């Protein structure tokens, strides 16, 4: 599985793009939620794609995380998402404190 993009994103309360991919394939988003250190911490992770080349990107995967994550379950992975044209991977803090989240996107 080649990593196509990766980094660390510090949330700011808005929906922030982690990466946009335009090559056809199946993609998996991995995010480290170790930074979630308070009960009030809440983030939402989204993967968006479109059905037609000129179509509108819409959410295909939406996953919320809340509070301190269990010690043995801090690394989260999305299901594989099929992308034909475009895909956008985002994170948004909806509660708690802005924190830095390491992430990567792999094409399988």
Entry pTM: 0.94
Cα–Cα dist 57/48, whole Å = 6
Q: Are 108 and 2 in contact (CB under 8 A)?
A: no
Q: What is the pLDDT of residue 58?
A: 96
**pLDDT at residue number 16:** 98
3 state DSSP class of 12: coil
Which residues in the chain come in under a pLDDT of 70? 1
According to the CATH classification, is domain 3-107 in 3.40.710.10? no
Per the listing, tokens 């179509």 go with 55
DSSP tag of 103? E
pLDDT of residue 105: 98
Q: Are the beta carbons of 60 and 90 closer than 8 angstroms?
A: no
Question: At which residue do the structure tokens 């995010």 appear?
Answer: 31
* pLDDT on residue 54: 85
Q: pLDDT at position 53, please?
A: 87
What's the confidence (pLDDT) of residue 38?
84
């Amino acid at each position: 599985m080649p990593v196509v993009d990766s980094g660390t994103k510090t949330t700011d309360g808005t929906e922030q793009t982690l990466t946009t991919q335009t090559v056809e394939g199946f993609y998996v988003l991995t995010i480290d939620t170790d930074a979630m250190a308070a009960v009030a911490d809440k983030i939402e992770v989204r993967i968006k794609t479109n059905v037609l080349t000129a179509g509108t990107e819409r959410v295909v995967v939406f996953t919320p995380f809340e509070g301190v994550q269990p010690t043995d379950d801090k690394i989260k992975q999305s299901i594989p998402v099929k992308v034909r044209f475009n895909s956008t991977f985002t994170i948004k803090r909806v509660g708690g404190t802005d924190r830095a989240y390491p992430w990567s996107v792999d094409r399988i």
